[in-house]
Amino acid sequence: MSSPPQLAATPLMDRLIARTVRINLPLSVHFDLTYRCNERCIHCYLDHEDHGELSTSECVDILEQLAQSKTLFLTFSGGEIFLRRDFEEILVAARRLHFDISLKSNALLITAERAEMLKRHGVRRVQISVYSAEPGVHDAITKVPGSLQRSLAAIPLLQRQDIQVKLACPLMKQNLLAYRGVMALAERLGVPYVLDMTITPMMDGNHGPLEHRVSADALLPILQDEALRACGTRSPALRENASPVIGSAVSSVIESSAYDDLPCSAGHNSCYISPYGDVYACVQLPIAAGNLRAASFEKIWKQAPAFDRVRNVRETALPICSHCEIRSYCERCPGLAWMEGGDLLGAYDRACSLAEQKARIAGVRSPMSAWHERTLSGRNSQEASVRPSPKLLPVVN
């Protein structure tokens, strides 16, 4: 899910979101500049080879197109963005075009000089992945000895430049009990953090990363944690006192009534661009809408059939999920529904299992109905072996 960076949900911001959703303006764009990386995280969903990255001039041209399309929030990520030797040149262009700029980085290459450069070019926030406060655990996940120490060393360098820092901790089998340490570390450093229970298939459909994913049953102690258990519900009443620390390390959502009958912001006022110029509704929804080497951003955004498919999805019209008795506890993602079940509108086991756990913790004694369970089981058994590979949908001429 691609959404604006985590900002206060002010009345002005809510009006801005509502307007951009209503008229489909790409308020927020996540732009991966490279898939190359200096870490080899065991759960990563990316292919780290360079298959023909956009050139500097192509990146700058895309930024100019985004500015013309009224994009405000821009997140640069990867891979590792600092592996692009032209990254500063790209930042200069982004600054000139007045984007609100955030970065996602492992921070291994951030020096005092680079931190100063980021400040000079208007970067507001850097999100850094930290898998554990224990070097042995973190480094075993990244496969880079000393990586935790190097990542943490960058934080004071950024803070001295008044750049916001946020820690992101994806949870998997290898670091399941590390979340408390990451929370304590973030509090000591005086920075916000997000815990993410989402481990996804690779963008090419390979399910290899899922072997590291923790079962819903094993997540029970975390879901029962008093500091966290109010999170992850679509119910406004239950969300009232929710802590902001469980979410997605891919992006952070500003709650808005504009999304009430929508699965998320993807395709409505946000999208994702790959290092090769492919445009998607979201990095977690690998149905390519078009390529910026073949068509303009405006044409893809307004005319691509892939975006029409996403924009037509409504929560109240989902064939299975709209009837579910515990829907308010579910964090169903249309992208994961596609990648794991082959159906943009369908239910999928992971979301259902987590919703059941959350409902039980809340004292709800009626988990998924027998009809829901039978329907999901039957559909999955038929579709599991025929999940379609992500395809590039043509742009309408």
Per the CB < 8 A criterion, the answer to whether 156 and 111 are in contact is no
Q: What is the pLDDT of residue 230?
A: 42
Residue with tokens 């913790």: 361
Count the alpha carbons within 13 Å of 274 in the hemisphere toward its beta carbon: 28
Has this prediction a pTM greater than 0.75? yes
CA distance 200 to 213: 8
Which DSSP state fits 282? B
- Residue 27 backbone dihedrals phi, psi, to 5 degrees: -55, -40
Q: What is the pLDDT of residue 232?
A: 38
Amino acid at 286: P
**271 pairs with which residues across the strands?**
29
Both structure tokens of 183: 């929370």
User: Other C-beta atoms within 10 Å of 353: how many?
Assistant: 16
| 172, 185, 209, 232, 377 from 44: Cα distances, Å | 11, 23, 7, 23, 28
Taking only the tens of pLDDT, the chain with its 397 residues reads 444 454 555 788 888 999 999 999 999 999 999 999 999 999 999 999 999 999 999 999 999 999 999 999 999 999 999 999 999 999 999 999 999 999 999 999 999 999 999 999 999 999 999 999 999 999 999 999 999 999 999 999 999 999 999 999 999 999 998 999 999 999 999 999 999 988 999 888 889 999 999 999 998 888 888 766 444 333 333 233 333 466 555 544 456 677 889 999 999 999 999 999 999 999 999 899 999 999 999 999 999 999 999 999 999 999 999 999 999 899 899 999 998 888 999 999 999 999 999 898 888 865 554 445 545 555 444 443 333 333 333 444 3
Q: What is the pLDDT of residue 376?
A: 54
Alpha helix segments (H runs only) across the chain: 11-23, 56-68, 87-96, 112-120, 135-142, 147-159, 179-189, 220-223, 236-239, 297-303, 305-311, 334-341, 349-361, 370-383
Both structure tokens of 261: 């009958």
User: Residues 6 or more apart from 75 whose CB is under 8 A from it?
Assistant: 5, 28, 29, 30, 31, 101, 102, 103, 104, 251
Count the alpha carbons within 13 Å of 214 in the hemisphere toward its beta carbon: 20
Q: What is the pLDDT of residue 375?
A: 53
CA distance 92 to 89: 5
